[in-house]
Amino acid sequence: MTARLIDGNALAREVRAEVAGRTAALRTRGVNPHLAIVLVGDNPASQVYVRHKMADSEATGLAATLHRLPSDTPEPALLGLIARLNADPTVHGVLVQLPLPDGLDARAVISAIDPRKDVDGFHVANAGALATGLPGFRPCTPWGCLRMLDAIGLALRGLQAVVIGRSNIVGKPMALMLLERHATVTICHSATADLAALTRQADVLVAAVGRRHLVTADMVKPGAVVIDVGMNRVPDGEPGAGRLCGDVDFEAVRDVAGWITPVPGGVGPMTRAMLLANTIEAAERQTA
Ligand code: GUN
């Protein structure tokens, strides 16, 4: 079997077109949907991510403002900026790029964001809303993964879903979203005794660990849907050194799986698109 590809770029284009339409509709009511991005310090990867988020917003018609702060910013100054953005009715979404420099407490900073503007879906109020089945903002990566499963018309009810990884940003919310859709969900992690035995039962397998070739062909049930959240680089000295790759041994697993997401061009573009979806959602809710 050769797996069918779930094209994250194509689906992200659909999401962006949807967001652009909703943005235009809000503008006719005099609302200018606006995302504020806070970047503290000069982490090179964060700078790239933030540049993408700004460009995506502007390409979709959303206003985006970047607030850059030096890496030695005291926490009260950062919290003060967040308080001002929370209180500003022209700002609908507030995102603080992570990781924060040493000395800044990410939990305290995220807790300071108004949950109604928390378009990352990281605030405990939004995490709790997801855990208890209430409406709220969903973290962009698992939200994008769910959208990909919907795009292939997969009915999740009763399926076995296995999520590898238990981060607050991906693994845990992904598991909760699958559970909300009535899948039977197993979360695997670094202390899981026999990972392969569990993954082989999965109708839907989500890999979100950050380890290249973590998922090999023998770990995948024939016909399974495989979602690869990993973002790794091929190490020096190997063919394709420096190229982006996921957690899944794509070339081998595609012969076993029924559907698979590529890296690049899978989950990554969907994560970016879902931030725009959350931002327009925030603007709509705040101006309804
Ligand atoms: N750093 C890496 N991914 C993310 C993300 O999705 N949101 C924020 N705020 N920071 C990140």
Give the span between the Cα atoms of 24 and 76, in whole angstroms: 37
Whose alpha carbon is nearest atom 8 of ligand 1?
A: 97
Query: Residue 266 C-alpha to ligand 1 middle, in angstroms?
Result: 17
Ligand 1 site-directed mutation target among 120, 138, 143, most atoms within 8 Å of CB? 120
Annotated catalytic residue within 56, 118, 120, 247: 120
Does residue 203 have its Cβ closer than 6 Å to ligand 1?
Answer: no
Cβ–Cβ < 8 Å for 164, 209: yes
Give the span between the Cα atoms of 278 and 241, in whole angstroms: 35
pLDDT of residue 119: 98
Does residue 60 have its Cβ closer than 6 Å to ligand 1?
Answer: no
pLDDT of residue 247: 98
pLDDT of residue 31: 98
Does residue 96 have its Cβ closer than 6 Å to ligand 1?
Answer: yes
Work out whether the CA dihedral 25, 118, 80, 43 comes out positive or negative: negative
Longest dimension (CA), the chain: 56
Does residue 282 have its Cβ closer than 6 Å to ligand 1?
Answer: no
Residue 99 CA: which ligand 1 atom is closest?
1
Quote the crossing angle between the two packed helices 140-151 and 171-180, to the nearest 10°: 40
What digits encode the pLDDT tens for the residues 107-157? 999 999 999 999 999 999 999 999 999 999 999 999 999 999 999 999 999
Query: Residue 33 C-alpha to ligand 1 middle, in angstroms?
Result: 20
pLDDT of residue 208: 98
Q: Is residue 117 annotated as part of the catalytic site, yes or no?
A: no
pLDDT of residue 1: 73
Does residue 97 have its Cβ closer than 6 Å to ligand 1?
Answer: yes
Query: Residue 98 C-alpha to ligand 1 middle, in angstroms?
Result: 5
Work out whether the CA dihedral 121, 66, 276, 270 comes out positive or negative: negative
Name residue, tokens 């949907």.
Answer: 33
Q: In 10 A of CB 206, how many CB atoms?
A: 32
Q: Is residue 255 annotated as part of the catalytic site, yes or no?
A: no
Residue 120 CA: which ligand 1 atom is closest?
7
pLDDT of residue 128: 98
Residue among 101, 120, 91, 122 at smallest CA distance from 40: 101
pLDDT of residue 135: 97
Each of the 288 residues of the chain gets a pLDDT tens digit; together they read: 799 999 999 999 999 999 999 999 999 999 999 999 999 999 999 999 999 999 999 999 999 999 999 999 999 999 999 999 999 999 999 999 999 999 999 999 999 999 999 999 999 999 999 999 999 999 999 999 999 999 999 999 999 999 999 999 999 999 999 999 999 999 999 999 999 999 999 999 999 999 999 999 999 999 999 999 999 999 999 999 999 999 999 999 999 999 999 999 999 999 999 999 999 999 999 999
Cβ–Cβ < 8 Å for 115, 123: yes
Does residue 98 have its Cβ closer than 6 Å to ligand 1?
Answer: yes
Residue 29 sits at φ, ψ, to 5 deg, of -95, 10
Q: Is residue 53 annotated as part of the catalytic site, yes or no?
A: yes
Does residue 95 have its Cβ closer than 6 Å to ligand 1?
Answer: yes
Whose alpha carbon is nearest atom 4 of ligand 1?
A: 98
